[in-house]
Amino acid sequence: MREDSNQIQQSKILPRNKIPPQYRWDIDSLYKKEEEWQEDCLKVEELLAKLPIVRPNFTQDANSLLIVLKLRDEISELLQKIYTYAHMRKDENNNNSLYQSLFNKASALLAKVEESLSFIKPGVLSLKYCTLKKWIRENSQIKVYQHYLEDICRRKDHVLSGDSEQIIARSGEFAQVFEYVFELLSYADLRFPKFKDEKGENITLSHGNFTTLLRRKNRRFRQKVYQKYFKEYRQHSNTYAALLAGNIKKDHFYSSVRNYEDCLTSALFKDNIPVKVYGNLIDTVHQNIGLLHEYISLKCDYLHLDKLAMYDMYVPLIEENLTFSYPRAQTVLLESLKPLGENYLAIVQKGLEERWVDVYENQGKTSGAYSTGSYRSKPFILMNYQDTMEDVYTLAHEFGHSVHSYLAHEAQPFIYSDVSIFLAEIASTTNEVLLTSYLLENMKDESEKIISVNHFLEQFRTTFFRQVMFAEFELLLHQAQANGVALTADFLCQKYAELNRFYYGENVIIDREISMEWARIPHFFYNYYVYQYATGFAVATALSRQIIQEGTAKVKKYLEFLKAGSSDYPFVLLKKIGIDPTVPNYLEEALSIFSELLQELQKI
């Protein structure tokens, strides 16, 4: 196993068929043949054909409503499996035209399903609330849908007439075009150069190895990598700006026609999250930005630099000889998650053994990492593993998502099996904090301790401070759009550079290249998504400390929280485990822990 891992870690990016099967996710467990996938697409069409029969009178009595709700679940569950498979295939190799066609078909089917089911919410809202409550009280099967139905009623002011909802649903397919073209441009069409590194070895620059190469010791080489990478983005700056501007206009259109005050209100309303949570996040970071500046100053001292360039940001404070082969990463992962108990560990072990993870980069593969899956399938994890400590953290993070999904799918009916992103990032980041705690305890050498402490500080910089900067940038763009400002490439670059200057302070050189970084961030297409990384990180920091200190009792509550899925609003579920995100206390606690570790690093 270790030999395979070492063979794969070459400077050359391999075609997918050269990656050993044990390092590829078990996508055949979804569909063994494409024909099976096509058959399920036909099944969805057949189920959709039943809707015109049951639609006309579905609100006349409890049983008629129940028939439609169950049919909705059957269609949606099957579609989820279809879409997951197509998306995974596309991400395996974005250059494969067959996989692109599968994804296009799945996206079209998704839009058709959303249109076909769009009558449900207006229909439910046409009922008198007292009638709906009576049906819920008297029919045990409808009672399962109580939270779902009451949430529809909460959205009454933002749900349109049946015909209008159908028109909105029809727009779903082309509404995805901006993100889809962004992905094609970024992962299929960008052509990064090949060049020689400081040792004379050939390097193929890619999304997957970019930050790894920026950790190299040779500063001129880092600068070369950095400039070549962003040069490719700069050549497409107007296209990226047009895509992002179009996506933001789309979000404004939807929030406007649904009678929301703005896109932020619309995005947070879904999970019943007060808008002040977003404002508290940015304000609290602004009030404590000196901590990040202090950390940057310490990095300058360690690296013997007057100021950091952005290509210095990922360089280790001291020379790191730490490598984590994938087998070693699995061992560290299991050891670090022991505080979560045997049941949790058994699920992680199951995932490692049953090929949930697509481990290594290959030609055409989507960069980064994520967790996915469908209701009755295994969870799946996309990785681009490079043998670094960062990759171990990413693996822990994605297993947090996957175990959360696994437990929610096991405990909840389909209607509540999805997990709110606001909650999902808590589960993933809790794993990261537990990993940090484990590494700090088990790395006794002074240099290893520096590496471990700094890694957590870097996680804090990238997962908290940087995501808040992204969140502020996103807010700024939406405000500009609302005020009629054209979101040109020059405008985006200018504003992004200004934010970097504020967040990183006077000890970092804000160059022309970093002003283009917005173009490589896919999350800007997700409508106020990234702030949840920061809130999740802060909540997880507090929660992890409680798990370690309180032990079994806290773990039991935590596992119940994971099993709850979306059966209630995020704040309700969080309050059950002692966290209240409506006040900034949890942010201040997280920042105090950052300060403590910063002081510890200064003492070493």
Q: Helix or strand or coil: residue 255?
A: helix
CA dist., res. 127 & res. 153, Å (int): 10
Residues β-bridged to residue 211: none
Asked if 410 is an active-site residue, the reply is: no
Got the DSSP string for 62-104? HHHHHHHHHHHHHHHHHHHHHHHHHHHHHHH-TT-HHHHHHHH
Kind of pairing, strands 308-309 and 202-204? unpaired
CA dist., res. 296 & res. 291, Å (int): 9
CA dist., res. 373 & res. 427, Å (int): 16
Residues β-bridged to residue 382: 358, 370
CA dist., res. 318 & res. 447, Å (int): 7
Residues with Cβ within 8 Å of 136's Cβ and at least 6 positions away in sequence, in order, are 142, 143, 145, 146, 149
Give me the catalytic one of 92, 114, 390, 398. Answer: 398
Handedness of CA 336, 339, 342, 345 (dihedral sign): negative
Residues with Cβ within 8 Å of 497's Cβ and at least 6 positions away in sequence, in order, are 510, 514, 515
Please choose, from the candidates 441, 506, 468, 502, the residue with its C-alpha nearest in 3D space to the C-alpha of residue 591: 468
End-to-end CA distance of the chain: 37
196-206 burial, b if ≥16 CB within 10 A, otherwise e?
eeeeeeebebb
Residues with Cβ within 8 Å of 583's Cβ and at least 6 positions away in sequence, in order, are 280
Token pair listed for 8: 């794969």
Token pair listed for 318: 């001291």
Environment class of residue 123 by beta-carbon count within 10 Å: exposed (0-12), middle (13-18) or buried (19+)? middle
Token pair listed for 96: 């494969």
Handedness of CA 9, 13, 18, 20 (dihedral sign): positive
DSSP 371: E
State how far the alpha carbon of 303 is from the alpha carbons of 35, 47, 49, in Å. Answer: 57, 63, 66
CA dist., res. 543 & res. 586, Å (int): 10
Token pair listed for 200: 């004379």
What's CA 201's distance to the chain center, in Å?
Answer: 34
Contact 547, 430 (CB under 8 A): yes
Handedness of CA 23, 28, 34, 40 (dihedral sign): negative
DSSP 355: T
Residues β-bridged to residue 194: 204
Catalytic (active-site) positions:
398
